[in-house]
Structure 1
């Protein structure tokens, strides 16, 4: 098992990537603490993990609330003794932003996803790092998307929010890697098997003029494999990156665009 007896915290564990990653961590032997803005959805994921023989606990945590994140991490350390992996898959979808051209977007609306994503990642990473430093060991991870690195339309500040998270990944690693803590991001491109992508598509459908089928064809046709990646593939990559087998990875974002983006 890649993560045998590791202690992992997953933020946004009710979402497609967060839930798939929580399951992948558990399959690889980790004890997983799932969090979400509401407890009920993450409790269902935890129940599935336990039924499959894994170890999981669910808690309600607002990842934008500094005190809530601190209190939860303290409780994880009290229950499990430490934290080895922090995985931030928190998502914010604002249908009032998606689908609006930048020339028509209010400044506050443009900044909102940048502030929310950066704050959530910063808080969860900083508080996790403080708990990892005494052991000089740990892995901090997050998820971005292709608009962080290439131009896109009708996404408001979401591309800029991803770029901010990727810059923070590099800065955190520069400070923490000498203390034994790795910081890595994952950057997939469009996951049609997730409700998140469908929701984002619907918010932009009228302006884009594309049908769902045409949108799927665009995603699959622009990759080297001519297919789309799945949430489970992202999750399995996350499990490897969190493991000792990926000890050489830090201060970087793993390109999961299947060739759509040339690094």
Structure 2
């Protein structure tokens, strides 16, 4: 009897994941490796990166990490260069890393806090995409990028006004990049997660008690997402199985914005 081994979703690909030390990024790194990718993890906290990298290696996957602050252009370029130096190419990238703001109206957000949000949540993805596209051109020739946005970018967001505005700008960058680089065979999409069990949500819950309960009540599936459920959507968009999808902002929100 013949047996067929189905290749992984990202079999043979080299993947860069930012914000890979915890939450959705860590789940993505583990998932991408299980699906056959060689992964380069990037984030600010080395201890977290080391833990996730060791987990992947223990499970038989291939992983390296680099400490990277998305507010620093040199760090972003160094992370992309490290992926190419280590693995010889870059095929796909998940721009997941982000900074958060305290919940509250826009007039209570300090200017320095806004500047930091801008540096990480908008300039960071922009610089990342530029570096990633150049690396894909020079090595793989083709590629795919997924930016992590938020359902909070799809409507007015009085509790997280700066965060929502910057994520909406990421949606626009995603669409523009898809149009620009599509003729070269580089696809660019975004995912817009809803309420997910991450440290970010736990932090917001502390500042706004009852937040998770309210979010789950407003979600048709009546629960929060697990980080891996969000990572699964990113993996599909980065894979060849979504080969005719580009310029999309995919809601992964349990129906909250349906």
Aligned to 1:35: 42
Residue 66 of structure 1 pairs with residue 66 of structure 2: no
CA offset at residue 112 of structure 1?
Answer: 4.0
Contact 2:16 2:40 in 1 (8 A): yes
Change (3 A) 1:172 1:46: same
Stretches of structure 2 lacking an aligned partner (at least 5 in a row)? 1-7
Residue 145 of structure 1 pairs with residue 155 of structure 2: no
Contact 1:105 1:156 in 2 (8 A): no
TM-score with structure 1 setting the length: 0.89
Aligned to 1:163: 168
- Please point out which of 81, 88, 95 is paired with 1:88: 95
CA offset at residue 170 of structure 1?
Answer: 0.5
- Please point out which of 159, 181, 188 is paired with 1:154: 159
Contact 2:153 2:164 in 1 (8 A): yes
Aligned to 1:127: 131
Residue 195 of structure 1 pairs with residue 199 of structure 2: yes
TM-score with structure 2 setting the length: 0.91
CA offset at residue 42 of structure 1?
Answer: 0.6
Q: RMSD in angstroms over aligned alpha carbons?
A: 1.6
Number of matched pairs = 250
Aligned to 1:13: 20
Residue 113 of structure 1 pairs with residue 120 of structure 2: no
Q: Deviations over 1:148-176 (max 9, x none)?
A: 01122321401101101111000111101
Q: Which runs of 4+ in 1 moved over 6 A?
A: none
Contact 1:115 1:161 in 2 (8 A): no
Contact 2:205 2:212 in 1 (8 A): no
